[in-house]
Amino acid sequence: MTTKVCILGHYGDGKNLLNGQTIKTKIITRALQQQLGQDQVQTIDTHGGIKNLLKAPFQVLYALKNSKNVLIFPAHNGLRVYAPLLFLLKHIFKNRKLHYSVIGGWLPQFLTQHKWLARILKHFDNIYVETNTMCRALEKQGFTNICVMKNCKDLKALTEQDLIYEKEKPLRLCTFSRVMKEKGIETAIRSVEHINSQLGCAAFSLDIYGQIDSAQEEWFDSLMQNCPAYVRYCGCVDMDKSVEVLRHYFALIFPTHFYTEGIPGTVIDAYAAGLPVISAKWESYADVIDDGITGIGYTFDNTEELDALHFQIAEDPQILLSMKTNCIKKAKEYAPLTAIQIMTARF
């Protein structure tokens, strides 16, 4: 008996991986199991990188043979393997649909450099992107199979009564993403150090959460050795504990250096915890943050603007405190069962 859907995704081989790819794959899988029934959702773990390549044709054949829909969640390298295999082997099986859920906002730019892959993906039944910005960019490349499906997290947002309005200095900032240069961790540290030095007091503190990129551990260790006491690394937080941890902070800072972010999961966590976001204006910023309502942004890669924002906020914390109720209202847009309706309607 064929099932409704088989998911080829990065589940992490039992490891507690906290990167955006693994988290989104697990969240969507659970939501589909809840919506369709566990017996209608098969899963195949693509974790393993190069070592997994020899298994890929057999994984794809199994998925196509046993499910009416095949859904993939690959990153750059996985896409170059699984998309062509699915396209080629689909011809063996009738009445199968191919679905691709994009993680992040990198795909439009990536496909301008890999046109052969774009031609293959145009034969997929549905490609789900996180933002309208991505949708428009792909449609300009000739795609007609694009759907917007927001990134999502299964979080219980705070109520207005649960919100904490803390005005005492230092105002507690945090980052809540992978710990790597490209996420702007050092940018956040340097800005907080600069403001505190200029004001002559600890106006802000900064706590850093997240899994340290394995290739950047030496860089991060060196960075933290030279940090003042008001900058701390606080380790990792389980997905279901994010709201309880974040609710005690003043704001989340997201100084990403990735211009092609989609809907960052860290912003969804912040909204559920009632935290406004201080953010670089990446490509899809306006799709995710209502400027002046759920957060406040600065020109991408402009650290002087970030410093100016911190000065302004230090003088008047109410600028962000007034946004807290807006954030918990916004969080409702990112509930998994709401998000996947776009997908299940096309199965």
- The answer to whether 312 and 304 have CB atoms below 8 angstroms apart is no
Annotate 256-273 with b (16+ C-beta within 10 A) or e (fewer): bbbbbbbbbbbbbbbbbb
Express each pLDDT in 240-288 by its tens digit: 899 999 999 999 999 999 999 999 999 999 999 999 999 999 999 999 9
Read off the pTM. 0.87
> Could you tell me the end-to-end alpha-carbon distance of the chain, in angstroms, rounded to an integer?
17
| pLDDT of the residue at 50 | 64
Distance in angstroms (rounded) separating the CA atoms of residues 33 and 26? 10
| pLDDT of the residue at 21 | 82
Q: Helices 265-272 and 324-331 sit at what angle, rounded to 10 degrees?
A: 120
Low-confidence ranges of the chain (pLDDT < 50): none
| pLDDT of the residue at 223 | 96
- Tell me what the pLDDT averaged over the chain comes to: 94
Ordered by where they begin, the domains of the chain are 3-149 (3.40.50.11930), 160-332 (3.40.50.2000)
Express each pLDDT in 37-70 by its tens digit: 999 999 999 887 666 778 999 999 999 999 999 9
Distance in angstroms (rounded) separating the CA atoms of residues 205 and 32? 40
Q: Which residues pair with 298 in a beta bridge?
A: 280
The tokens describing 40, both together, are: 């209608």
